[in-house]
Amino acid sequence: MNTSANPEIGMSITAAGIETNYHEAGEGFPVVLIHGSGPGVSAWANWRLTIPKLAQRARVLAPDMVGFGYTERPQGITYNMDTWVNHILGFLDALGIEKTDLVGNSFGGALAIALATRYPNRVRRLVLMGSAGVPFTLTPELDAVWGYEPSVEAMKRLMDIFAYDRRLVTDELAELRYRASIRPGVQEAYAAMFPAPRQRWVDALASPEAAIHAIPHETLIIHGREDRVIPLSNAYTLHQWIHRSQLHVFGRCGHWTQIEQADRFARLVGDFLAEASEQEPFPLSS
């Protein structure tokens, strides 16, 4: 239980040798929520509206991935997909979870894809929201997100990019996210992850096409039609490549589907995951 006045700080566990901050709620089959890669991001910032809703139907776990939030940042660590896959595997192992559902947001979608392709037996069902993980041309908006230099004004501009509904972008929220982005070590780690030129990091987050075609899991793909950070075409690519997939596109919605469409998002995801049997079999062929 979180006894801190800061709601972003939850529980702590050692995962792959890294002290990992995470949130947990609910009971039942586990579902791990993997956040995106915005400046000052944390699991709580991404999933604060989703956790209590999904927790009515499942055991919900939301870690801060290494390099983000309140998880330890080991000296000299290399931030890449191998590191993040090893970290999420270590998180599952530390909690004794052999198989989980995965919900990945943006960068987190790329990580969910990587885990599902490399360790398919550890995953039951996939939900990919505004997901990276396939090749695409770097958008100016994603370039701005990864190139963030801390200031309240810069954070406000980024939040304008993320949200279709500008009413969500308040001065108070921009100030909170800015403060999160300037905590000791946060900007240093963030700047080390995605230095210019940044198309190479889009490419580095992508899993091989053949591996994505081979994903055996039932997969729900969700995207905001007005997403300016990750193009809607990514969702169509994933839908074409993943044989057992379904696609839901929210109109009048940007990159913050889980916030802009919080109730609908949680209901959609909850229903999709509730369909599955605990030992959902993998087909031997497509």
Residue 42 among the catalytic residues: no
Asked if 113 and 96 touch (Cβ cutoff 8 Å), the reply is no
For the chain, give the longest Cα–Cα distance: 52
Work out whether the CA dihedral 188, 189, 191, 195 comes out positive or negative. Answer: positive
Half-sphere exposure of 222 (CA within 13 A, CB side): 28
Note whether 8 and 44 are within 8 A (CB). Answer: yes
Catalytic residue among 87, 217, 227, 245: 227
Give yes or no: 255 in active site.
Answer: yes
Question: Is 227 among the catalytic positions?
Answer: yes
Radius of gyration of the chain from Cα atoms?
Answer: 17
Tell me if 224 sits within 8 A of 253, measured CB to CB.
Answer: yes
Report cis status (omega within 30 of 0) of the bond before 63: no
Q: How far apart are CA 112 and CA 158, in angstroms?
A: 24
Q: Of 37, 106, 131, 245, which one is the catalytic site residue?
A: 106
SS3 153: helix
Helical ranges in 95-185 per DSSP H: 107-118, 140-146, 152-162, 171-181
Active site residues: 106, 227, 255
